[in-house]
Amino acid sequence: MSLTSSTLLNEESTQEAKRNTECLESLLQTPSSIQNNPLQQLQLASQEVLEKAKKSGRSKCPRCNSSRMFYCYTCFVPVETVPTKDIPTVKLPLKIDIIKHPNETDGKSTAVHAKLLAPDDVTIYKYPCIPEYDKKRHEIALIFPGPNSVSVKDIAFHLQKYTKKGVCSSDDDCSREPLLKQAKIEPEEEKIPNECISSSRSEGTRLKKIIFIDSTWNQTNKIITDERLQGLLQIELKTRKTCFWRHQKGKPDTYLSTIEAIYYFLVDYHQEILKESYRGQYDNLLFFFSFMYTLIKDAKCCAGKE
């Protein structure tokens, strides 16, 4: 009798675990799950093209012919099963440079999302081949936390210190050659000025370019201490929790992925510097990120990890 009772309890426990997993899977498909998905409220373009690409599997990159899923992280283009016309394009209020650590795995980086979705405004460099910023530091800022970092709302005030007259220090030769050639890891393209941003905004904020570092936090020191980045205004973002599925071991959940940092900065910039209501203008920067987040969350749920 005791053995039979034990067997029944084990069977019931197994069935209950199965029901819990099925329940979690079901919740992801219901409106009530929106509260548990911080990306669900984004105003995104249709992701039907990604759904179709997911079903058809990996496809070739139209440039290098490598087998990829959704996009080629080497050439910064969608694969053949994801037509460019079906991918949203986001116009940004300023230019973005992303400095990528050479040891950062291409396939794991979210920096490519920014280049795919805002191609006219985003440039990716592979360290140590980065530009000289010294002559234009009165209009450039670097996203990086630190003791001297300022908040987004204080950008305009602090950039006033970087006048064009004071860009070069007394012991600098402003006509000197760059320390390293400005080699990009993408084809050179003529940048189109953002005609949608009024001149009054530009004069009011002065900020024309923002720099992001794409690397793990343990790798950032080599880049942030580079002499070409010294003297730039540093910006620290508001504390937000990451949704990135590749969470860095031993780091808090407030350490954002590169595309999340770019997105949240632009939202804050839009509201606190441009002084405009935010209505999802930059949400499509998370077009790929949000889709992959849901895919991975579903996969974990099916595996019983959530």
- Helix (DSSP H) and strand (DSSP E) numbers for the chain: 8, 9
Domain ranges of the chain: 44-81, 88-160+205-305
DSSP 177-236: PPSS----SS---PPPP-TTS-HHHHHHH---EEEEEES-GGGHHHHHT-GGGTTPEEE-
Residue 68 half-sphere exposure toward CB, CA atoms < 13 A:
24
The percent helix, strand, coil of the chain (3-state, each to 5) is: 40, 10, 50
Per-residue pLDDT in tens (0 to 9) along the chain, 306 residues: 444 444 444 554 455 445 444 443 443 343 434 445 678 899 999 999 999 999 999 999 999 999 999 999 999 999 999 999 999 999 999 999 999 999 988 888 999 999 999 999 999 999 999 999 998 989 999 999 989 999 999 998 898 877 644 554 434 443 333 344 444 555 444 444 444 444 434 444 589 999 999 998 788 999 999 999 999 999 999 888 888 877 666 666 778 999 999 999 999 999 999 999 999 999 999 999 999 998 888 777 776 655
pTM of the model: 0.75
